[in-house]
Structure 1
Amino acid sequence: MKVVIQRVTKASVTIEGEKVASITNGLLVLLGIVDDDTQEDINWLSNKIVNLRIFEDDHQVMNKSLFDINGDIIVVSQFTLHAATKKGNRPSYIKAAKPDVAIPLYEAFVKTLEAGLGKTVQTGEFGADMKVELLNDGPVTIIIDSKNKE
């Protein structure tokens, strides 16, 4: 399970002209899932995200978490995070999990984040053509792969 986390002052997801998610002050999380991801990956990654100290304190030091700032999260499914680009110029997405595997893991990830954060997490729509708009704060962008946790 791989995520790209962006600290944002605002972010939104629009599908077919309708805004389906919108936050201010929090994290936009792009989530890529592979076939061998498990609930263990979800638990570890969710805990890491909600406790990640990447928001500035009064001294402009990144020392606060989502809890500290009462921040929000938008999660967007992003199979292209697992693109293989070694051979040729057309990315291969063979490593990305197919919907029958990915959707239940995506939904479990969102529920686990909600439990850890103690509030609703907004989402895009799995497999939809989404327009994601954000104002990256910093900019702060962090990539985490649950397969590299040790």
Structure 2
Amino acid sequence: MKLKKADWTIVQEAEEQGLMVGMTGLIERKRTDLNNELSDYFRKQLPAYTGSFDENEGEEILYSINEYITENNIDMYPLDFPITDGTDVHLIPITENIQLKVIVADEYHGGGDYSKYVMADFFLINDKATTKDVAVLIDFVKKHLLQGSK
């Protein structure tokens, strides 16, 4: 029986290999030429994209992503805010070569202060990823992330 790695482990390994691509001005320390090319392509297509969604927007974003998961018969649990204090990392398959990294957080800081948000500002690639894959991601972002946050 082959065990499936947790998404956060896959993300960590991708970061070490330079395969985590920034969708905003934030970038990973280790990057490849392909990483740079695909990040530049995404940011030129959606220059105002922040990838950050507050608690209210986050609810709508998660609903929209869950619709995508259901419509595409993706074998994963629906995304939701953590039941207890914490942060969850999810990888949403977009194409065979790209997965969107989605962070869902509900963090209590004490004294009544908390942060509840969704972040979708990086995507994981493999060495076969192309701008065509990123174009599919851009369509996903426009349909499921930008529409949901308005």
TM-score by length of 2: 0.28
Query: Which structure has greater helix proportion?
Result: 2
Query: Which structure has greater strand proportion?
Result: 1
Higher relative contact order (CA 8 A, sep 6+): 1
